[in-house]
Amino acid sequence: MLLTIEENAALNLRALYQDFGYSFFRMRRFEEYDFYAGKKDFLSSSHILTFTDLNGKLMALRPDVTLSIIKNVSHGKYYYDEKVYRVPKNSDTFREIPQVGIENIGSLSGDDVREVVSLAIVSLETISEGRDFVLDVADAGIVAGFTPQPEMLACLAAKNIHGLRELNAPDELIALAENPPDELEILDNLNYRPEIHVDFSAVSSLNYYNGLVFKGYIDGLPEAVLSGGQYDGARMGIDSRGAGFAVYLDVVGGLRND
């Protein structure tokens, strides 16, 4: 039986992450609702799909993988092949979204961060099937230093320079949007990779990632196929720091129509 594009991508990515020393992490499909209820600021959508268990507890189908992992482990390198249940942007219905990705959790040295970014690039190479791809990177910590309003972040993500000026955004923030630097200090010698582009539109929120943030695109696909970054679990009420990313297999499936 022939594998679908999504199935083939998942198998190849799982083998890649295992080769890099990441252990497979399997998690429950649902958690107690209270676990997510206090962390809605860190979710891409505030909508959570819930049901009542036989014991009367309110449960939630998993809207996010990272939160589920760092709830259970405080350090280590893990990969996963899971589904999340959320309402995508510009949608009015829940969707089951298949993801494959990694999490590097612990003290998180600079080498750990660079390894995660390198794996993101290799992941794009693995699934792109020879098409051009790019990894847009930015530093959310730099943006946070300007204490931007949510409206400013929306303009930054949309590359809306006019909107930033109308909102009286700091000149330095506008400069980052108009003329981003060629390199980021946090990436050191990875900046030479031609697939890496510094682009501060990758920072669409400051709730989740507080350091490096990145999004991967493949020629022919209309949206990001990969996204990730650095996070501080203490901001989520969890004593873990880490970096990771997810590959969206439903977006990968769009390659069959190219």
Q: What is the pLDDT along the chain (258 residues), one digit of tens a residue?
A: 688 899 999 999 999 999 999 999 998 888 899 988 877 777 877 789 999 999 999 999 999 998 888 888 888 999 999 999 988 777 888 989 999 999 999 888 889 999 999 999 999 999 998 899 999 999 999 999 998 999 999 999 999 999 999 999 999 999 999 999 988 988 887 878 889 999 999 998 888 888 999 999 999 998 999 999 998 876 666 677 899 999 999 999 888 765
Residue for token digits 């920072």? 203
The pLDDT score that the predictor gives to residue 84 is 93
Please count the residues of the chain: 258
The pLDDT score that the predictor gives to residue 57 is 94
The pLDDT score that the predictor gives to residue 193 is 86
Residue for token digits 């092949």? 81
Cα-Cα-Cα-Cα dihedral sign, residues 50, 53, 58, 60: negative
* Residue 167 tokens, joined: 């909102």
By C-alpha distance, which of 192, 243, 220 is closest to 133?
Answer: 220
The pLDDT score that the predictor gives to residue 172 is 94
The pLDDT score that the predictor gives to residue 53 is 93
pTM of the prediction?
A: 0.91
d(CA 213, CA 97): 21
The pLDDT score that the predictor gives to residue 236 is 67
The pLDDT score that the predictor gives to residue 254 is 85
Which residues are CB-neighbours of 170 under 8 A, at least 6 positions away? 146, 148
Q: What does the domain layout of the chain look like in residue ranges? A: 5-28+65-257
* CATH T-level assignment (fold) for domain 5-28+65-257: BirA Bifunctional Protein; domain 2 (3.30.930)
d(CA 91, CA 234): 31
Q: What angle do CA 89, 97, 42 make, to 5 degrees?
A: 55
Q: What torsion, rounded to 10 degrees, do the Cα atoms 142, 146, 149, 150 define?
A: 0
